[in-house]
Structure 1
Amino acid sequence: MSDYTVWWIDDRDNREKNFANVLEEQADPLSVEFSNPEDATEALQSNNQPDADLVLIDWVLHQNGGYTGKGLTMAGTVRENLPQVPIYAFSGEAIDELQQPVSKSHFQWTCEVSDLVGVERATKLVNDLSDYEALESVRGEGFESLIETLNPPEAARQEVEAVIPREFNSGLKEDPTMKGGNKLAFMEWVCHRFRETPGPLWNKIWTATKLGLEVDVFDDYLEELYDTSYGEFTYDGIFSHWSGERWWSSEMIGAVVELNQDRDAPVGEICRTATKILDVPEDSIAYCRVCRDKYPETVAAQTEGKDARFPVHLICSNVHHSREGKFEDYRLVDEGAQ
């Protein structure tokens, strides 16, 4: 018996055989139910829909058959009837339209239809469903139980507690219709803010820059950092399997301090300290993308709204007003500093 039921809604019948059935074959825990949009609408109206754990909706639903709406229309109908079931959208030919912010905001994940085949992608869906289940298991159990789904190290716990959205300060509420009871809202915070905004967690470019390293040599020094009492300090809480590793900033700093103490040396700026401890050659030390001098302290975006991915000095960048909450400042490259 399958652990999870996936409801695939699509106006192209051939995708049942070529995609939906293949997805089911590639992951034993998944059972995939396929419906065209007309049948899906009728099932929802008669409360006869599958007992779905996840709904997959084609963004382009109006090219075959009599359905006139797009995936966004179907998503609204599904959401009215299945308020706590995650909805993922996919497309084969309108992916640019689907991935516009106004479209993506209505779905927990968006992808190309080809991303739904292959063992790796099937495993991602199973892991997603397992993590949604983990969230459901702590419903009504209080704040500490919700925090545990993120599995923070003790040194980072207070910082994590401080950035949890206020609506979840008493945990995931028993009533899913109440503010603070929507597990999908918590998932979206985890995946699209907690993981993506530097603070308790850093991505690769941030971690490398804070260590004073160029990104392309970062992996060469991980083993030495992991060979401390902190072990492998990568994030392994819910949705940690999403693309791109994340590292606990407090643990990374702690590992550098520990290595430095073993050498009985004073601690200065982490980037300069780490490069000395790790014996980093001069050409592998991070440099500022504006002034070209070494040891940038932060990472900035080149234009507003883009990801921060340019190592820069603080004086070579400006804080942008768009950053909210107790996270690292969102900075823009100061072109005038060049």
Structure 2
Amino acid sequence: MRTNQRCESMNSSIKKFLHASYSLREFVTLIDVAMTKLRHVEREDDYNSRHSSPPILGPKNALKTYHEQCAKLYTRNMYYKVADQIKAEHAYFVNNCEDNGESFSYSLSKFQHEDRVYNVHYHPQEETFTCHCLLFETDGYLCRHIWPVMKYRHMKIVPQSLLLKRWSKNAKADLPLELKQHSIEKQQLFEMARQASLALDTNLLSYYACKSEQSYTKAKQEVATLTAMFKDAVPLESNTADSDSGRYQTYQENENITRDPTPCRTKGSAYAGNNRDNVTIDMSDGAVKTKRKCSNCYSADHNRRTCPQLVGLPLPHSQQPSPSNRA
């Protein structure tokens, strides 16, 4: 679990696949299905962000430069959120500007809501803005109160300090992917990050390879060759996270797997007396086994046919052998 799952709606996405009545096995299976769907949606969003452009406002719009800059930097979904904030800035206007020496303080009001005042601070040296609504500090993109101040100061482009790389198209390109002596958990995170980075780089390859049948066939052959080459090289890398799991022959030897609880006799057992003592439990798999016993004296060393108490006595009609067996 990570701290950024709340803003990325991870909890609500996984909740759609789960229910309180599901068993533990169904829970693990559905979690895998949910993560597979999230990865598929993420790859689709990356493809749309890198190979298509969102609709931009007309050339007569004064804030077109803001839209174009944000459309080139942000992903498709994040651009729509930023565009909504830019469209909502027309309802706000600057009331007052105070020069504090190293910074400027602006007070804004909303049209037909003069009683609501918003304060925005601008630091020219760092080119940073702070608003008391804290939308930029919380979600990472500019609020509707900072855009009127930028327009008031006649800024043609957005400062780079206000464009976080976290929501950019190239957020996965420059990750720390070097392999060092880390724990197994960090190595798994690095492997996932490298996989996401390669998937991002191969999007452009897939886009041009599918244009013709010849390039598509060649790309398939090259990918199959590279896959076989890298697959053969995996056992030689002893520092990978998957190599640690190969030392377990069975799941009973793996201490990271939760085992079944040890069966115990309950108070409401159907057996009583000698019958209960003849019940054994196989500790290897937890199966309950009952020894074969005599139906007359309930002893486990013989059956009814060889019971010492019934030797020389005729057997009941239900246990007498059939005529075919006598022959």
TM-score tier, shorter chain, comes to under 0.3
Which structure is higher in RCO with an 8 Å CA cutoff and minimum separation 6? 1
Indicate the structure (1 or 2) with the bigger Cα radius of gyration: 2
TM-score (structure 1 length as normaliser): 0.21
TM-score (structure 2 length as normaliser): 0.21
